Chain A
Amino acid sequence: MADAFLNIQSVKNDYGATTVVQDFNLGVEAGEFVSFLGPSGCGKTTVLRIVAGFETPSAGAIMVGGRDVTNLKPNQRNIGMVFQAYALFPNLTVAQNIGFGLKVAGVPRAEANARVAEMLDIIRLPEFGGRYPYQLSGGQQQRVALARALAPKPKLLLLDEPLSALDAKVRVSLREEIRSIQKKLGITTVFVTHDQEEALSISDRIVVMYGGKAEQIGTPFEIYNRPATRFVANFVGTLNVLEGTVTDAAAGKVRVGESEIVLKQPLSDAKAGATLSLALRPEAISLGRRPGHDSSLSGLISDVSFLGSVIRIRVDLGKNAISLDTFNSPATPPPTVGDKAVVNFAASDLLVLAV
């Protein structure tokens, strides 16, 4: 952690009396692709702007490559940044935009031109050097913005919701392109998004943020399958939350409605009689018996929605309700509302949530 390439150390930021980022710690390894994921207003942009040097943190430090850059100006940090609104210079051509950082750095003209041509190839717009930004589509503009950020060979690449102004198809193809360029160049990258699918699909690690704090830091697999807090579990994917009462903490026994479930681990920090939340993903639940599904709860089917290849079924369990997905198969018609149902799952898939 301490020897990570980018180190964000105990960063805090206030605007007047309101604290918008607090106790934020993160180490990003060289070449790693880390996403900040969180709802609007949770402080993603603020942290990114602190890393870029546009904001000075109220406390804490930013280290890049072992060097403290907290008090350096943005133009002294050698960081590449891509903005949500593209921010291409309207008075310069595509080639001049890409070459801007090189020109400012005093790179000799021949060398700069070669680098611009190389970048145009990387973003697959080799013919577009002479055009002006207004002559490009949104996706093309954002690729040029990426090339412009990468041309001076920065140590770090920051992207603040670079895809949110684009339409859905372009968004998917461009995010894959960004990821493949990032891998090819091996550049350390921080990517801000509020789209969980985007974060899950392209990141090495994800920082889920909420209220100015990092709620959980982990690989997409960990974040999705082992959310540490109720917020993460709710924000990433669809989730069933069951309220239960602890009956035997040492044995890990919990009463949910009429049934008792035995968890795989003892509840060391809970007392008998305490209530707790258990989370369960829809895809971990089945209606019929399945190998490994050792626990069950019974109730009434309250809703059936047909989503194409998948049918989402809602089962009322008294105080709790559960959603589960089954694959659509032409041979077996879906159940009807009001039927009795028994839902099965593996106790090991249950997550005990810290509230």
Chain B
Amino acid sequence: MKAGRTWAWLTFAAGTAYFFIPLIATLEFSMRMRRGIYSFDAYQVVLGDVRFQQTFGYSVLVSIFTILLGVLIVVPAAYWIRLKMPYLRPVVEFITLLPLIIPAIVIVFGYIRMYGSNSPLPFLATARGTDLLLIIGYATLALPYMYRAVDTGLRTIDVRTLTEAAQILGAGWATIIARIILPNVLIAVLSGAFLTFAIVIGEFTMASLLNRPAFGPYLQNIGANRAYEPAALAVIAFAITWGCMSVIQVLSRFAPKSANQPN
């Protein structure tokens, strides 16, 4: 009993150390830009860099559109599969896993071959078109997370009965999805959204090969050429991810308490 507890604490301490020591070391290193004393100079340099602001702003914008696209595709699809075609669920689950198996670089080469300026669908001919293609690509990369999050959310409500209750009260599909289904899986959708955000903010391959001014290529560029700034950027990236996690935690408290679980 006593020994078991000791081991548990030791394991916990080892895990904590494994996790925190690199983080603390990075933080410490990022603050040593000015010789002899700790300072936030590296952060000032990074945050003051116009390219940081531009690429970060660009990636945030792209992630917002990616999330919108993902929600618009995944929520109705997952809902429809639960409602009308439950037998298709294993197939769809497999399809949504494909982006984890197929490397992004394969997808992006496919894009470049398919949508070049001489192709019937010349997405790559203009910057806007390329942005659009990037968003579509990101939505694909985020699909495994988004689909699972939404599907888990749908499991907590009695989709079929709620749909029928709304239908018999006169509601059409758009109303049912917007007023009943989406609000009840909103927390799940938001956690999917933050995961999407985290993926898009750090993504390098697609943005780089499509030559868009995103945050990922900027990170890579700084990392290859500077000493202290990459450490500061890493800490900032951690802060953003953790911020997202805490927002998910806070939001989940407001999840509607489901009173009509199917028994």
> Residues on A close to B: CB < 8 A?
52-54, 73-81, 83, 85-91, 100-101, 104-105, 132-134, 136, 141, 145, 148-149, 152, 165
Contacts and interface: CB of A to CB of B under 8 A. Distances in A.
A200 to B, nearest CB: 27
B161 A104 contact: no
B256 A91 contact: yes
A88 B170 contact: no
Given A54-B167, A90-B256, A149-B169, 4 more contacts: A83-B165, A91-B180, A104-B170, A132-B259
B259 A74 contact: no
Interface string B219-251: 000000000000000000000000000000000
Contacts of B161: 83, 85, 87
26 contacts: A52-B168, A53-B168, A54-B164, A81-B164, A81-B165, A83-B164, A85-B158, A85-B263, A86-B259, A86-B260, A87-B162, A88-B259, A89-B165, A89-B180, A90-B260, A91-B180, A91-B184, A101-B170, A104-B169, A104-B171, A133-B259, A133-B260, A134-B259, A136-B259, A141-B260, A149-B169
A75 B172 CA distance: 7
Contacts of A104: 169-171, 175
Contact of A74 (B167, B184, B258, B262): B167
Given A83-B161, A104-B175, A88 B168 contact: no
Contacts of A105: 170
B171 A75 contact: yes
Contacts of B165: 81, 83, 87-89, 145, 148
Kindly list the 6 A-B residue pairs having the minimum CB-CB distance in the complex, ordered from nearest: A134-B259, A101-B169, A133-B259, A134-B257, A87-B165, A91-B183
A156 to B, nearest CB: 10
B132 interface: no
A103 to B, nearest CB: 9
A89 B166 contact: yes
B177 interface: no
B168 A81 contact: yes
Contacts of A79: 168
Contacts of A54: 164, 167
B86 to A, nearest CB: 16
A186 B231 CA distance: 75
Tell which of A78, A83, A87 has the most Cβ of chain B within 10 Å.
Answer: A87
B89 to A, nearest CB: 21
